[in-house]
Structure 1
Amino acid sequence: MATFCQADPASSDLLSPADYEPALLSPSPGVVGPRYKAVLELHSAAELLKVLRRAEQLVNESQENGYPDREPVAFILYGDEIRLFEHQRYGENREIVDLAASLEAYRVVDLKVCATWLREHNLQESDLPAFLDSVPYGPDEVRRLQESGYTDF
């Protein structure tokens, strides 16, 4: 992906396409520290909130400015906790959804939901906030992360 500077800052004249300078966007420099995955056992609101707060605390303690310097904690959701994110339940789950969205935006966590669970419970990805991505089958993704060197959070 590339972005282009379209105007010369010294003048108000637009540059021609031949004068554009690409500014390539690159991923963050090397991973610092271990890579973590969060696996919920109870699939409850209380458990999810506790683990999200723990992720937030980890970042706040690791850097003075609170900005993460490590891979985000991978959250693979494949149980009833997914329902907490349904648009129609936002009012009752605002604290969890807002915290999850904030942590996702700052790359503290990477939240994924199980597409198989969604289908089995007659839900669509569009029923959930846009910051949630899906994986085909949650337990397989947890195994893949484990095999890739992720440790339990």
Structure 2
Amino acid sequence: MIKARQCLIVLLGFFMAGALAAVASAEEREVVRYVSEIELETEADLGELLGRAENLFTAGELPQEEGAALTLVLHGPVLRSLMRENYAGSKPVVDQAASLSALGVVQFKACRSWMGSNGVDEESLQPFVTTVSYGPGEVQRLVREQGYIYF
């Protein structure tokens, strides 16, 4: 009887340890996601921002996940650099952005409101750039509904 009780206590201990490990593992896998609304003037500004994101990724600070850890909601003249027709002149920054997008590190969204006011057609953007109707509204939605952290 005592041995059965001891075995039960040991098994219960293993079960509890396994359950706690599973909870800790699930908490470790929870990815913190960030969103920023950015109006950039130049391609050099975008290149600098992408360089920082790439450095954070290679340092292990930005994980490679399905559903990128960093979402950039862009508006401003820099969107012209992400147009298909401007690829040849913007190749380094477009390739870097496409790479970060393909790796699941950064998601790029463009503000349709800004685009409409500035003659940028949605279909002219690179395929890795999605559009949203209004940039500030998308940021608020991601923070409110999906728990993103605004920075």
Gaps of 5+ in 1: 1-28
Specify the alignment match of 1:14 in structure 2: none
Which residue among 48, 51, 63 is the counterpart of 2:49? Answer: 51
Superposed CA offset, 1:95-115 (max 9, x none): 110001111111101101111
* Cα distance change of structure 1 residues 41 and 129 upon mapping to structure 2, 3 Å threshold: closer
Q: What is residue 64 of structure 2 aligned with on the other side?
A: 68
TM-score (norm 2): 0.69
Residue 131 of structure 1 is matched in structure 2 by 128
Match of 2:80 in 1: 83
C-alpha distance after superposition, 1:114-142 (max 9, x if no partner)? 11122212222211111111001112112
Post-superposition offset of 1:90: 1.3
User: Could you say which residue in structure 1 is the equivalent of 2:11?
Assistant: none
Number of residue-to-residue matches in the alignment: 123
- SS of equivalent to 1:62: coil
CA distance in 2, matches of 1:54, 1:39: 16
Amino acid paired to 2:114: W
The two structures, once aligned, show a CA RMSD in angstroms of 2.6
* Large movers: runs of 4+ above 6 Å: none
Q: 1-side partners of 2:36 and 2:42: how far apart?
A: 13
Q: 1:87 to 1:42 in 2, by over 3 A?
A: closer
TM-score (structure 1 length as normaliser):
0.68
